[in-house]
Chains A and B, each alone.
Chain A
Amino acid sequence: MADRGTYVDIFFRNGLKEFEVLPPPEVWNNIQPVLRKKQRSLNILRFAAIAAIPISISVFSFWLTTNISKNFNGPSISLNQDVIPAGSYVFKNRLITAPKIEIPVISNETAGSIIINEKNSSEQINLKIPSSSLFSSFLKEGKPRKGNGTIVARSDLVENSSSAEKKYLSLIPENSLPANTGNVVNRWTISALASPTYFSSTSFGKNDASTDLAKNEKPAVSYAGGMAFSYKVNKRISIRSGVYYSSVGQKITGISTYSGFRSYYAAKGSSEFSLQTSNGTIVSTNNDIFLRDNISGRVITRYSSDVFNPAKADLTYLNNSVIQNFNYLEVPVVFKFKAIDSKIDLNLIGGLSYNMLVGNSASTYVSGVKYSIGKTEGLSPVNFSSSFGLGFEYNFSGKVSLNIEPTLRYYLTPLGGLVGSTAHPYSFGVFSGLSYKF
């Protein structure tokens, strides 16, 4: 039998070895547009990637130039001791009214550190101008100005100065600097932020059911965005809240979907298909759709493979996956801690969010056409999530800034799920947007 079988194998293998059949021309005609479309997308991505490199380098270089390079090659001023009689003086375009005291004055600008020669003393004090951006701006224009353009009070300037700078400031008449900023402090900020997000879920403990289901659930296109208000509690800490809309989803693979089931539905009555997922059970509401699980027993239906064959029933095959979507309105309460206060601020962000379910759907797509399947049942109407991230804030001016915030969000409560399921979703997104201070 084996020899005969082998003979048949060899006979067919050799017989078909050099066999060729010219395919119909429409095959190539169908392939071409797909390749062009992909090429276009690829070109856009390439262009974006190439453009991102010089932009990133430029931004980084600018930041280095404004914040770091001065440490090494910045301008420095040599200060010599002198006796200044009482009266009014112009100090860096600023009028100073001073009693007759001995204060250091700027005599020239040379390379190197700032040197103060105190009277009757050979002591020299080195002032590194960029050690404090406030002090630097004070020396340049006579006003201690923050990176975002806000003028600060003398006390803030002194507080943020080195000991050598403090010594210098102590010699400057108090009334030559504002006791307070004189400017209105912009405590409120309105921001608009949006981000595409990567959504997935994780199972903790030994919950085999949710782990097995999660194996065939892949991330789908998700996004989030909204408006938020921030209140600046002090110069380091601010609190933010607002309203966000998020659409998160996942792709459930290994589920064959067919259309054209309506005629069978009409004939046989109820045709509910239930599809178990780690976040709940999808129940079909579209009676034209037929579902079949190719991997395990996730689809519960009376039309099992032994009683109904979609191929024989001439149903139209649509896809091998189902997209499950959840839409939420989110009210976050987030704390921001300003770790670096400069032209580009660095904030540490963390908080909680109260999320209200406003919609959910299950569908499949064929060549961009959406076929609705049904809805997920068993979802919690509300859930809580926590978020952690970094915030980069580039100040265009004192009022407007660009925000980029890579954020990781972890859902403290499951979206829904099956009995015993403890699948906790998480998402990662890089939120970007603009802020306006007022």
Chain B
Amino acid sequence: MSDIKQIILGCLDGNRRDQELLYRRHSSKLFAVCLQYSGNDEEARDILQEGFIKIFENLHHYKHEGSFEGWMRRIVVNTALEKFRSRHNLYRIDDIDTITEPESDPDNEDYAGLEAIDLLYIIRELPPKYRMVFNLYAIEGYSHKEIGKMLHISEGTSKSNLSRARIILQRRVGSYTGLKKKVVNG
């Protein structure tokens, strides 16, 4: 029996040591996901807390098929979605809105200098609705149809939000990289 399977069985039996072990092993990665989906640290902590309680409550539903980490991640993302739906109203954006082209060409941008923490900050600066759509599409790999159902918006709105998120991200990456260079070069 694999190590994680033993821990899961221990958690199902209510073994506190296994519960803590499961949390210690996976909380860092899942907290990063929570930070990515939330606007502030407090909200991220709430999502992680609620997410882990759901994980423990629903462990008996895990069929040991597929990635356990992926299964936990889906629960945490869904928790973030619930929080988002309860806190924010989504405004429908017309699909025919003109999308401004980025001022800089991303092909020529120097992305190499950015670290994961920089990317996190850039994502978190996005307006909530853009951040949700970008995370769900670009990071989690959901289609616009699926995102539309999750956020109660149309496919077109999801596409539009993604385009706007990408534009903002490209701009921010550019300015962030420039700022970093200035700091490094003095």
Contact = CB atoms under 8 A, between A and B. Distances in A.
Contact of A13 (B49, B115, B138): B138
Interface stretch (B2-10, B28-36, B178-186): B28-36
Interface string A252-270: 0000100000000000000
Interface stretch (A20-28, A342-350, A408-416, A425-433): A20-28
A27 B89 contact: no
Contacts of A50: none
A420 B92 CA distance: 32
Contacts of A11: 111, 119, 173
A105 to B, nearest CB: 67
Interface residues of B, number: 47
Contacts, number: 109
A184 interface: no
Contacts of A19: 29, 32, 116-117, 119-120
A5 B159 CA distance: 11
B53 A34 contact: yes
A4 B166 contact: yes
A78 to B, nearest CB: 61
Interface string B86-100: 111100000000000
A310 to B, nearest CB: 8
Interface in A227-273: 256
Contact of A15 (B23, B45, B114): B114
B123 interface: yes
Interface string B158-183: 00001100100110010000000000
Given A13-B138, A35-B56, A24 B45 contact: yes
Interface string A36-79: 10110011000000000000000000000000000000000000
Contacts of A26: 45
Interface string B27-49: 11101100110000000010011
A259 to B, nearest CB: 14
Contacts of B57: 38
A257 to B, nearest CB: 10
Contact of B139 (A5, A13, A21, A294): A13
A21 B57 CA distance: 24
A4 B45 contact: no
Contacts of A88: none
A317 B88 CA distance: 11
Given A16-B36, A294-B85, A35 B48 contact: no
What class of interface size applies to chain A in its complex with B? 35 or more
A320 B173 CA distance: 37
Contact of A31 (B32, B52, B162): B52
A311 to B, nearest CB: 5
A15 B119 contact: yes
A358 interface: no
A13 B137 CA distance: 10
A38 B60 CA distance: 14
Contacts of B119: 11-12, 15-16, 19
B139 A305 contact: no
Given A31-B52, A256-B86, A8 B14 contact: no
A208 interface: no
Interface in B102-151: 102, 106-107, 111, 114-117, 119-120, 123, 134, 137-139
A382 B50 CA distance: 42
Given A8-B166, A15-B119, A21 B31 contact: yes
A309 B89 contact: yes
B40 to A, nearest CB: 11
B154 interface: no
B9 to A, nearest CB: 15
Nearest to B137: A9
Given A20-B28, A320-B86, A31 B106 contact: no
A93 interface: no
Nearest to B169: A8
Contact of B89 (A16, A23, A305): A305
B53 A16 contact: no
Interface centre among B56, B86, B115, B137 (most CB of A within 10 A): B86
Interface string A376-409: 0000000000000000000000000000000000
Contacts of A309: 89
A305 B87 CA distance: 12
A8 B32 CA distance: 19
A23 B86 contact: no
Contacts of B32: 16, 19-21
Contacts of A5: 162-163, 166
Interface in B47-65: 48-49, 52-53, 56-57
B106 to A, nearest CB: 5
11 contacts: A1-B163, A8-B166, A9-B138, A11-B119, A19-B117, A21-B32, A22-B28, A294-B85, A311-B88, A317-B86, A320-B86
Top 7 nearest A-B pairs by Cβ distance?
A9-B138, A20-B28, A19-B116, A23-B31, A305-B89, A15-B119, A5-B166
Interface of B: 14, 16, 19-20, 23, 27-29, 31-32, 35-36, 45, 48-49, 52-53, 56-57, 82, 85-89, 101-102, 106-107, 111, 114-117, 119-120, 123, 134, 137-139, 162-163, 166, 169-170, 173
Given A16-B36, A26-B45, A42-B14, 5 more contacts: A8-B166, A21-B35, A22-B28, A31-B53, A294-B86
